[in-house]
Amino acid sequence: MTRKEIIAGTLALSLMAAVGGAATALPDWTTDAAGPAPFAQAMHAPDDATLDQRMLGRSFFSIPWVAAPAATTARDGLGPFFNANTCASCHENNGSAPAIDAEGQPRRALLFKLARPDAHDARLATDNPESPDHARMLDPRYGGQIAINATGHATPEARPRLETRQIAFRYRDGAEVTLERLTPKLDALAYGPLAMDTVIFTRQPPALAGLGLIAAVPDAEILAWEDPEDRDGDGISGRANRMTDGAIGRYGWKAAEPTLGAQIANAAASDMGLTNAHYPAELCQSGQTACIEAPRGRPSPQGLLDLPDTRLAAIETYLEGFKAPQPEHLGASAARGADLFATTGCTACHRPELRTADGREIRPMSDYLLHDMGKDLADGVREHMAGPSEFRTAPLWGLGARLRAGHRFLHDARARTPEEAILWHGGEAAKARKTFISLDPAARAAILSYLESL
């Protein structure tokens, strides 16, 4: 057996042992995944200073930002281009948010992003990347993300919409599932056409589960699972996404950000137009005159940036302080599903356990590595070392809470259920998908029951 199979089997046995008994006492850094608001349960603060920092971070995360000029200097940096005026708009109760409405059209939480893959390929061949601070090459007129809102005299960049194609899938036992392929479109482009080689792709917000715990996992713990040449012959060749400075990416759908602070800074700039040390200039392109000339937020005691380091650090402390969802107890079907989840090969990427530097065991069900997910999920986009069909293994903790809230799955929100998400898997996951499809209905239902318990 490979090391991955041994670890996965050990987890399955531990879960099976809990069937039918009393609920297992969870570590104090976790919370019951079936409980209320599982993404919003705070860990104990070690001291008053940390508690104060969390409260400050919560205010900048939750209270709406406003456009300049305004009476406040603390939150007057919104825009000129933005999609939402609070972080909480796309992270309800610190989870995710509905990305697509009942008519199949995008809601605010679904971000329409832009990239130029051909230019990115050319850049990778040079010694001097054109824009080393960005994970991908951007559209010259619209940058890296479409803004659906604007302040002052600026005009929103476009009106996004989705085209949906339904695809019927039938199991050998006759059960049917309807999949949806979503194609992003942009109407009413306000600043001219996109570049000929620009690709439109979408991203939905992740749930903010266990972010501080993931930050506490040493790089070596993640890299120990790397196997880019598939030396163990299991068909899985995960590799870390590495930044230009060698840092290991672990946040984002393609692991394009190495730290939680960097991820927050990217979202603050791209989604709300908040300048910070990572993005000190407004994200206006050369032809967007009203954006360039828009009033800026008044200087605060912390400086000229909308989100100075002290405030960015406060948001980071706030998000680091939440527990991770974990099932307190599994019913018989879910426990059987945990065993099947391992034997079908899913745990080769959805790694059962990780350990933080201080020895805490966590179960995000991810190896935080990149994997080729096949052509059906590929979006044509490169981010740092991640290729067009490569994605970071999605953590599964909190999946049940997201399902109960009616949220979707996969990077572009195409999957309405975990079952649909599994059926879209390809590439390195094709073997596990094939095994899942071959199972009888009761076995498939057991796996889905397990996933819904997470």
AA letter at 232? D
Give pLDDT, residue 24. 67
Average confidence (pLDDT) over 35-60? 96
The answer to whether residue 22 scores a pLDDT higher than 60 is no
Give pLDDT, residue 408. 97
Rg of the Cα atoms in the chain: 22
| Tokens of residue 125, six digits | 């061949």
The kind and range of the H/E element at 370 are strand 370-372
- Return the C-alpha torsion angle 450, 391, 209, 234, nearest 10: 40
Give pLDDT, residue 68. 82
Distance in angstroms (rounded) separating the CA atoms of residues 91 and 209: 11
**DSSP state at residue 21:** S
Give pLDDT, residue 128. 44
Distance in angstroms (rounded) separating the CA atoms of residues 350 and 420: 17
Query: What is the per-residue pLDDT across 100-132, written as a single tens digit (0 to 9) for each?
Result: 999 999 999 999 999 998 776 666 665 444 344
Going by pLDDT thresholds of 50, 70 and 90, the confidence category of residue 13 is: very low
| Tokens of residue 109, six digits | 């939480």
Tell me the whole-structure pTM to 2 decimals.
0.92
The answer to whether residue 3 scores a pLDDT higher than 70 is no
Distance in angstroms (rounded) separating the CA atoms of residues 328 and 326: 6
Instruction: Write out 100-166 in H/E/C secondary structure.
Output: ECCCCCECCCCEEEEECHHHHHHHHCCCCCCCCCCCCCCECCCECECCCEECCCCCCCCEEEEEEEE
Pairs from 38-42 (Cβ < 8 Å, separation ≥ 24):
38/209, 38/323, 38/325, 38/398, 38/401, 39/93, 39/94, 39/95, 39/207, 39/208, 39/209, 39/322, 39/325, 39/398, 39/401, 40/93, 40/94, 40/95, 40/322, 41/322, 41/323, 42/321, 42/322, 42/323
With beta carbons less than 8 A apart as the criterion, state whether 434 and 345 touch.
no
Distance in angstroms (rounded) separating the CA atoms of residues 166 and 301: 54
The answer to whether residue 442 scores a pLDDT higher than 80 is yes
